[in-house]
Amino acid sequence: MARKELQQTEVSEELKASRELAEQLEQTAKEAEAAKESAKAEAEELLKRREAEFKVQMEQRQQEWEKEMRERVQAEASEHAQAAEQARIHSEDLARLQAEFEERQRKAEEASQRRIEELERKALKAAAEEEGHKQHELVMQRLEEQLVTVMPLVKEANLIISELQRPHKLETKMHCELTPEGRSGSAVNVTAAVTLNGVLLFEWGPETLENRVYILRELLQRAEDEGLEAIRDLPNEEDPLWDPIEVERLIGVSQVLLEGAHGLEGG
C-alpha cells in the first residue's frame, strides 16, 4: 500500500514536472514566436525605412540629375547662342572685309585705268608733238629752200627794175595755212608780191618769179644795148611786170558753223 502511494506520488511529481516543462516549453515557444514576430516587424520596419530612405535618395538624385540636365541644356543653349553670335560676327566681318577688298580693288582698277588713259593721252600727245615737230621741220626746211631761191631773185629783180626806171617794186611774202587749232599747218609758200606805189597788183610763185627775172635780165641787156627808150612802151604780152590784176584774192580762212534751214521753217 505504501509502495503504491509512493509510486503514485512519483507519478504525480513526474506529471507535474512534465506539465511544468511543457509550460516552460510552451512559454519558450511563445517567447520565440513573439521574438520572431518582433524581429520580423523590426525587419519589415527597417526595410520600409530603408526603402523610404532609398526613395528619398532616388528622388534627390532624380532632382539633382534633372537640375544638372537643365543646367546642361541651358549651358548648351547659351553656348549655341554664343556660337551663333560668334558666327554672325564672323560672317559680318567677312562681308565687311570682302566689301573693303572689293572697294579697294575697284578704286585700284579705276586708278589704274585713269593712269593708263593718262599715259595713252600723253603718248598720243607726244606722238602728235613729234609729228608736229617733224612737220614743222619739213615746213621750215621747205621755207628755207624757197627763201634761198626767192629772196635773191626778188633782190635782183628790184635792182633791174631800178635800172630800167620802172615804178614797180617786189617784196618777199610768206603764206602759212593754219590748222583748225590755230597752229601753223604744213603748207607754207613764199611768193614775190608785185606792188605799184604801195598797191599790191599780183603775186608770183617761185617759178613765175624765176621766169620774169630771166625776162628782166634780157630787157636790161636790151636797154644797155639800145637804150631805155627801146623798152619804154612794151606791149603787155612782152612786159614781164604785167599780169592780169586779180579781182579776187585770198586774204584769210575762217570756219563757219551753219544751222539747218528746217529749224527756221516755224518762223
CA 68 – CA 78 distance, rounded (Å): 15
Q: Does 185 map to a domain?
A: yes
What is residue 46's three-state secondary structure?
Answer: helix
CA 128 – CA 56 distance, rounded (Å): 105
pLDDT of residue 178: 58
Residue type for 224, please? E
CA 97 – CA 85 distance, rounded (Å): 18
CA 217 – CA 231 distance, rounded (Å): 12
Report the first-to-last Cα separation within the chain, whole angstroms.
191
- DSSP letters along 156-172, please? HHHHHHHHTT-SEEEEE
CA 134 – CA 141 distance, rounded (Å): 10
Q: Does 214 map to a domain?
A: yes
Provide the residue-wise pLDDT of the chain in tens; the chain has 267 residues.
666 666 677 777 777 888 888 888 888 888 888 888 888 888 888 888 888 888 888 888 888 888 888 888 888 888 788 888 888 898 898 899 899 999 998 999 999 899 999 899 998 888 888 887 787 788 788 888 889 999 999 999 999 999 999 999 999 998 876 555 545 555 778 999 999 998 999 899 999 999 999 999 999 999 999 988 888 888 888 899 888 765 555 555 555 565 655 554 444
At 71, which helix (H) or strand (E)?
A: helix 2-163
Q: Does 206 map to a domain?
A: yes
pLDDT of residue 84: 86
Q: Does 170 map to a domain?
A: yes
What is residue 173's three-state secondary structure?
Answer: strand
The residue behind cell 520565440 is: 32
Neighbours of 129 (CB within 10 A): 11
Q: Does 255 map to a domain?
A: no
Cell numbers that stand for 171 in this block: 617784196
Q: Which residues pair with 202 in a beta bridge?
A: 194
Neighbours of 193 (CB within 10 A): 15
pLDDT tens-digit readout, 14-64: 778 888 888 888 888 888 888 888 888 888 888 888 888 888 888 888 888
Structurally, how many domains does the chain consist of? 1
The residue behind cell 597752229 is: 183
Task: Look up the domain containing 206 and give its range.
Answer: 142-245
- 222 Cβ contact partners less than 8 Å away, ≥ 6 residues apart: 230, 231
pLDDT of residue 205: 92
Cα Rg for the chain, rounded, in angstroms?
A: 73
Percent of the chain clearing pLDDT 70 (strictly above): 84
Neighbours of 210 (CB within 10 A): 15
